[in-house]
Amino acid sequence: METGFTVEQLRAAAVDAVRAPSLHNTQPWRFRLRDGGIEVLVDPDRRLPATDPTGWGVRIACGAALFNLRLALAVAGTPATVRLRPHPAEPDVVARLVPDVPRRPAPAEQALHAAIPRRFSNRAPFWPDPVPADARWRLTEAARAEQCWLELVVGVSAVNAFGEIARSAHRVLERSPEYRAERQEWVRTAPARDGIPAASGGPQGEPQDLLPSRGFGGLDRAPGRDFEPEPLVAVLGSPGNTAVDQFVAGQALQRVLLTATDSGLAASLLSQPIEVPSARDQLRLSLGRFGTPQMVLRVGYGQPGWPTPRRDVDEVLDLPVVRS
């Protein structure tokens, strides 16, 4: 068997990588082919200064893109060895992937890879059907396999207490005109290759909602079409909160999301309680877990929807310089 990555394999893997989720669909990543490997970089021009002043969201998104890249290369038969933050002098380089020993992909890798183009954020109300125990187990195992944890918020009083934290974080964020303006800038009412299409933004929030909607789409809600009364809320956490921990959490997030898609489940993300430091602390204390909450997911059975657009891979992929 041939060893090493081909340029075609790396390009195809980058096509999968850009399907990762990102705050407001900013797609804050770049990919660089170098010395037979591929590197993932943060794109500093795509940071959201008001929404993501620390760069946490960019690091989660780049970690998620990295997971897709790993998966695509493994499924192509040449898994990667990954080094996070490989060049200390270049902090924007998230990871470097070089070829490991070729092997046949595992069926589980193939299943998750097949889920990449089908995954999308489903912000609509879910059906009230509970998520069965085996699917819950698969989700928590997916986080664990990436050195993170996924805590399911179970029971009416725990979900209500979480709702309280999330709504209050939402109110804090909404007080900032810069935050609101930034969100508006990324809502798309005409076809575009980044940002959130208004039709994908979910219905208008209403006072009776347990969980806050971010307010992207503001689609009118049909009478009686309320959100599920007892959503499955899951909090993803990492052992620490360094930049590397956040890259690790992004990979775990994507593994959990693809596992949900592969299990026939819908999911949406809810990061207001992560973005407000006091809410994040409250959330951490309420869970009683070591480590740091990095993302909140709502999981359930949803109506079909459609994936959101992405920029063309050639816009984000730097090919090696060929010397003549």
Ligand X SMILES: Cc1cc2nc3c(=O)[nH]c(=O)nc-3n(C[C@H](O)[C@H](O)[C@H](O)COP(=O)(O)O)c2cc1C
Q: Which residues sit at the interface with ligand X, rule CB under 6 A?
A: 21-25, 57, 60-61, 120-121, 123, 196, 214, 268-272, 307-308
The Cα–Cα gap between 305 and 83 comes to: 35
Nearer to ligand X, 59 or 78 (CB): 59
Q: Which residues pair with 37 in a beta bridge?
A: 34
Nearer to ligand X, 9 or 200 (CB): 200
Kindly state the smallest distance separating residue 316's Cβ from ligand X, in Å. 15
Q: Can you state the angle between helices 243-262 and 107-115, rounded to 10 degrees?
A: 90
Nearer to ligand X, 131 or 249 (CB): 249
Nearer to ligand X, 33 or 265 (CB): 265
The Cα–Cα gap between 121 and 42 comes to: 22
Task: Please work out, in degrees rounded to the nearest 5, the angle formed at the alpha carbon of residue 227 by the alpha carbons of 126 and 50.
Answer: 100
- The token pair at 163 is 């709702």
How many Cα atoms occupy the beta-carbon half-sphere of 261 within 13 Å?
23
Q: Name the closest residue to ligand X (Cβ).
A: 21
Contacting residues for 198 by C-beta, under 8 A, at least 6 apart: 187, 188, 189, 216, 217, 218, 219
* Contact assessment for residue 3 and residue 71, using Cβ atoms and an 8 Å cutoff: no
Kindly state the smallest distance separating residue 188's Cβ from ligand X, in Å. 10
Kindly state the smallest distance separating residue 139's Cβ from ligand X, in Å. 17
Selection from 36, 29, 25 nearest residue 93 by Cα: 29
Q: Which run of H or E residues covers position 111? A: helix 107-115
Nearer to ligand X, 18 or 159 (CB): 18
Kindly state the smallest distance separating residue 306's Cβ from ligand X, in Å. 9
Nearer to ligand X, 105 or 215 (CB): 215
Kindly state the smallest distance separating residue 279's Cβ from ligand X, in Å. 12
- The token pair at 318 is 């730097």
Nearer to ligand X, 24 or 113 (CB): 24
Q: 122-138 burial by CB neighbour count: b if 16+ within 10 A, else e?
A: bbbbbeeeebeeebbeb
Kindly state the smallest distance separating residue 166's Cβ from ligand X, in Å. 9
Kindly state the smallest distance separating residue 135's Cβ from ligand X, in Å. 20
Q: Hey, what's the torsion of the CAs at 180, 185, 186, 191, to 10 degrees?
A: 140
